[in-house]
Structure 1
Amino acid sequence: MRIRIAHLSDPHFGANLPEVVNALTHDLKELKPDLIILSGDITQRARYNQFTAAEKFVDGLNKFQWAIVPGNHDIPLINIFSRLFTPYRNFKRVFRDLLEKKITIEQVEVFTLNSTSRFRHVQGELNANQIKKIINGIQKKTGVRIACFHHPMDCPKRVDEKNLLRNRDEAMRVFAKTEVDLILGGHIHDPYVSLSGERYPQVQRQSIISVAGTCLSWRTRSGAPNSFNLIDVEVEEHQQPRLIISRYDLQKDFKFTPILVQSFYRDSVQGWIKT
């Protein structure tokens, strides 16, 4: 059995490129994912018209199931009253009950978590109780468990260390305890895939950390054009699952093309291992 997931992040509607919206919509229709995950920074400034522009994009792909989480750009910046007392008002007006939920497709469980804070503009945080409330107590069988939130657990460049999840060590311990296999994030516009043991050697069971770039915004970084990740989850009876993560970059002909493919399998003791 194969479950296909498209992981998008940081479209920044209000600072997006219309021609890239068309290209991504076309290519996702061809790839036919079972689920599309959007890991935050949906908008540039949390304005209602920016959320409705994002809604139009989602509606153009409405035959696919979606999981959506907010990013730091999805709560008000200038309006302090709204930021403190109704930070998710516009998000909820459009995407309603998508905050912190569980989605199950066959043997794949996806948990959406909210790492944003009304008290911080850039940095994010998850507490152990928040994670356990969503994930803990749900018995895991032979499938794959995925957690998704905006702020990344790892990064390739030292300059982005300040952008990592604030209490990431505590969060990683909880993810290991609840047997989360794959941790998805965005925020830094710099796609990156790693094994958790590289940054968190104190945690014995390895998870995969996958950070997606910006899928639609002009706010790209050097060496990281508009992109998204395609995740193929392979689960067969009486076998350990496998994961294939393909990075798709936008080319000059406005087509997203796979430029890096990484494969992993799950060991019953060590957790995930790169092949």
Structure 2
Amino acid sequence: MKIRIAHLSDPHFGANYPEVVQSLTTCVEKLQPDLILMTGDITQRARLEQFQAAHAFVQSLSQFQWAVVPGNHDIPLYNWWLRLFKPYNNYEKAFNSVIEKKIPVDQVQVFTFNSTSRFRMVQGAMSKKQIKDLVRKKLTKTDVRIACFHHPVDCPKNVDEKNLLRNRDEVMKVFAQTEMDLVLGGHIHDPLISLSGDRYPTINRQNVISVAGTCLSWRTRAGAPNSFNLIDIEVDPHQQPRMIITRYDLSETGYFAPILVHSFIRDAQLGWSKV
């Protein structure tokens, strides 16, 4: 069985290119994913009209299953009353969904988490409750487990070390313990596809890390235009699971096109490795 997931992140509605919305919609429709995961910074300033624009985008691809988690930009910055007492008010109005949940898709389980906080402007962390709840959960038998939240656990450039998930070492140990296969993030607008062992060599079981760039915003980084990651997972009862992650970049012609492909295979004991 094959499962296809489009990993989008950081569209920043309110600071986005309107023409890129159509290019992304067209590309995703052609790719026909089983699930679309958006890892935060849905809006630029958490305003209701920005969430409404994001909701319209999601509705334009409503034939696919979605999961959308908030980023630090999805909490009001200047309205302190809302930030302190109803930080996710506009997010919940737009998406009417629980931030933390488990989503089954055939032989894949997706666990969504909230790494944002009303008390932090930029940095993110996983709460101890979220970590304990994951450990205590009776995880049902499944072939592939995916963790999805905004702040990344790895980055390609040293300048972004400060932007990584604050308690990432603790979180990655728990992910190894619970046999999490794939960890999704965004936030830094600088895409990365890697193995956890590159940054966490003391954790025996490796998982795959997918950090998506900004799919729509003009707030791009040098060498990283608008982009997203396409994840293809192949599950066969007679073989070890395989995963292919393809990075799609916006080209000069205004269309998204594949530019990098990474292939992985899973060992029952050691986790994932590159093929």
Partner of 1:57: 57
Paired residues, number:
275
Structure 2 equivalent of residue 118 of structure 1: 118
Instruction: Give SS of 1:169's match.
Output: helix
Identity %: 67
Distance in 1 (alpha carbons) for counterparts of 2:142 and 2:78: 47
Indicate the SS of the match to 2:4. Answer: strand
Letter in 1 for 2:158: R
Q: CA RMSD in A?
A: 1.1
Deviations 1:112-159 (A, max 9, x none): 100001110100000343034246433353500000000000001000
| Distance of 1:68 and 1:58 partners within structure 2 | 9
Partner residue in 1 for 2:186:
186
> Any stretches of 5+ residues in structure 2 without a counterpart?
none
How far the C-alpha of 1:27 sits from its partner, in A, is 0.7
Report what 1:240 is aligned to: 240
1: distance between equivalents of 2:149 and 2:51?
18
The correspondence of residues 107-256 of structure 1 with structure 2, limited to 5 A, is 107-134=107-134, 136-256=136-256
Q: Does 1:19 align with 2:19?
A: yes
Shift in Å at residue 98 of structure 1?
3.4
Bigger mean CA offset, 129-138 vs 189-198: 129-138
| Aligned match of 1:30 | 30
Which secondary structure does the structure 2 equivalent of 1:261 belong to?
A: strand
Report the counterpart of residue 93 of structure 1 in structure 2: 93
Structure 1: gaps (5+ residues): none
- 2:109/2:142 contact within 8 Å kept: no
CA distance in 1, matches of 2:142, 2:112: 20
- Cα distance between partner residues in 1 of 2:271 and 2:113: 22
Change beyond 3 A, Cα 1:140–1:263: farther
| Moved segments of 4+, more than 6 Å | none
From the superposition, tell whether residues 271 and 128 of structure 1 become closer, same or farther in structure 2 (CA, over 3 Å): farther
Query: Quick one: which amino acid aligns to residue 193 of structure 1?
Result: I
Q: 1:213, CA displacement in angstroms?
A: 0.1
Inter-partner Cα distance in structure 1 for 2:136 and 2:108: 16
Contact 1:245 1:263 in 2 (8 A): yes
Kindly state the Cα deviation for residue 202 of structure 1 after the two structures are TM-superposed. 1.8
CA contact (8 A) 2:122 2:163 kept: yes
- Give 1:77 shift: 0.6
Residue pair 1:101, 1:134 contacting (<8 A) in 2 also: no
Normalised TM-score (structure 1): 0.98
TM-score (structure 2 length as normaliser): 0.98
Q: Is the 8 A contact 2:108 2:142 kept in 1?
A: no
Question: Which residue identity does 1:29 align to in structure 2?
Answer: E
Cα distance in 2 for partners of 1:99, 1:249 equals 28
**1:104 matched residue in structure 2:** 104
